């Protein structure tokens, strides 16, 4: 039997599976569609970002350098210092990236380069699908670490020493997608201890770090935790973030990777060949975004308002817990997530994402089964309307 090529190991993306689930399904009630399935921010992109793009259109006339403009790297390093009280060298420990997605994928190719057969990459389950794809195309095997139903986080310490000894890369996601749970300083210490013992690189996906409940403490980031724990060299740690969620600019495709200087150096070399340089026009718009916090504060206010309103409408109908961060409800239905999603689409014209599409079976279970992820990305009125339709459906036909 011919072995599968790495590309053939890729499974359909969750939204492709959703289209298959809905194939032939038709909404019969004449209601406007409300899509709460995909985590695409719908709040307006701040005017200051748009104006910065307009003011820097001359940047389209030049090839950009892969390392990025010094002014952007400095803006990112300054923001990291303000937000996380962590010092990074803008010259050696920061790179601009084309959104966190492409970098989370390509970084695995750097870490796994030259790894022996049988190497592992560990990550939470359910998970952001890029982790799995990067693992397969890097020639490694995925290790799915089931999320604990109580904490909303995976416990990598449950992995056997044999598995950990073969693990080269560990993706962590805090705030977690889909649960919204965040790591504490103690959690980070345990992760660092594990990484030190087994020489594992930690790739920290922090794209939701700025979406947390209004008036609450900001989530701890990997660089912040390392700095507070006396690990200011960020050994074997890199973090990824972007402007997509923070600044409602998913189309800007702009973010950063920061951390261990040796890993950043290797990643820069890879990216020089990979062809992933950011346009100078986009870079200058990114500088404007990283230098402003007012729009981010307003962003959090809007999400907090939607969380509270959505939960109130469904109180007594669907048990919803507002997460510490992120913009998702992770709801336990106690029934088939795929059947619920399909029925909701047909009868109420609301789209949610079945949790089982985000997970894989591990340890005899898919921890996403019977759950749905609800992305509160639409307007307040649309989210409220969706909540009312969900409540009506549950009360009357399920």
- pLDDT tens for 227-250 read 999 999 999 999 999 999 999 999
Q: What is the pLDDT of residue 4?
A: 72
Domain ranges of the chain: 6-44+295-397, 61-292
Q: What is the pLDDT of residue 1?
A: 58
Q: What is the pLDDT of residue 238?
A: 98
Share of residues in the chain with pLDDT > 70 (%): 99
Q: Say if 6-44+295-397 and 61-292 have the same CATH topology.
A: no
> Model confidence at 3, in pLDDT bands (50, 70, 90)?
low
Residues 6+ away with beta carbon under 8 Å from 63 = 277
Domain 6-44+295-397 belongs to what architecture?
Answer: Alpha-Beta Complex (3.90)
Overall average pLDDT of the 253-276 stretch: 96
Check: pTM over 0.85? Answer yes or no.
Answer: yes
Q: What is the pLDDT of residue 248?
A: 96
Q: Which tokens go with 368?
A: 């996403």
Q: Would you say residue 398 has pLDDT above 60?
A: no
In CATH, the number for domain 61-292 is 3.40.640.10
Overall average pLDDT of the 365-370 stretch: 96
The predicted-structure confidence for 136-145, as pLDDT tens digits, reads as follows 999 999 999 9
Backbone angles phi, psi at 145, to 5 degrees: -105, 105
Give CA 139 to chain center in angstroms.
Answer: 23
Detail the DSSP E strand segments found in 317-365: 328-332, 350-351, 353-354
Sheet with 167-173, edge to edge strand ranges: 94-97, 255-259, 237-242, 201-205, 167-173, 120-125, 141-146
Q: Which tokens go with 174?
A: 């805090």
């Amino acid at each position: 039997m011919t072995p599968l090529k790495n590309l053939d190991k890729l499974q359909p993306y969750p939204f492709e599976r959703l289209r298959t689930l809905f194939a032939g399904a038709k909404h019969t009630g004449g209601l406007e569609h409300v899509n709460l399935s995909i985590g695409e921010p719908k709040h307006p992109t701040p005017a200051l970002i748009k104006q910065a793009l307009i003011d820097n259109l001359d940047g389209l006339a030049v090839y950009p350098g892969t390392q990025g403009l010094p002014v952007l790297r400095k803006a990112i390093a300054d923001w990291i210092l303000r937000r996380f009280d962590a010092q990074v060298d803008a010259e050696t420990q920061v790179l601009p990236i084309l959104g966190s997605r492409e970098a989370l994928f390509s970084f695995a190719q750097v870490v796994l380069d030259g790894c022996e057969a049988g190497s592992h990459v560990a990550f939470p389950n359910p998970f952001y699908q890029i982790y799995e794809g990067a693992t397969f195309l890097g020639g490694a095997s995925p290790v799915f670490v089931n999320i604990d139903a109580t904490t909303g986080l995976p416990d990598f310490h449950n992995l056997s020493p044999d598995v950990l000894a073969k693990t080269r890369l560990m993706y962590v996601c805090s705030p977690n997608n889909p649960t919204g749970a965040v790591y504490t300083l103690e959690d980070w210490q345990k992760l660092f201890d594990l990484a030190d013992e087994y020489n594992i690189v930690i790739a920290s996906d922090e794209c939701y770090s700025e979406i947390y409940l209004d008036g609450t403490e900001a989530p701890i980031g990997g660089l912040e935790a390392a700095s507070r724990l006396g690990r200011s060299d960020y050994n074997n740690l890199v973090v990824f973030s972007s402007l997509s969620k923070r600044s409602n600019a998913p189309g800007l495709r702009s973010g950063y990777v920061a951390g261990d200087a040796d890993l950043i150096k290797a990643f820069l070399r890879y990216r020089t060949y990979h062809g992933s340089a950011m346009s100078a026009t986009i870079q200058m718009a990114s500088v404007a975004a990283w230098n402003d916090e007012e729009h981010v504060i307003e962003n959090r206010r809007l999400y907090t308002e939607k969380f509270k309103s959505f939960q109130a409408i469904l109180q007594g109908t669907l048990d919803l817990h507002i997460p510490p961060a992120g913009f998702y409800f992770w709801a336990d239905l106690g029934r088939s997530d795929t059947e619920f999603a399909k029925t909701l689409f047909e009868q109420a014209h609301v789209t949610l994402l079945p949790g089982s599409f985000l997970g894989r079976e591990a340890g005899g279970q898919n921890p996403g089964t019977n759950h749905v992820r609800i992305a509160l990305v639409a307007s307040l009125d649309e989210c409220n309307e969706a909540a009312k339709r969900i409540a009506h459906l549950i009360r009357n036909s399920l």
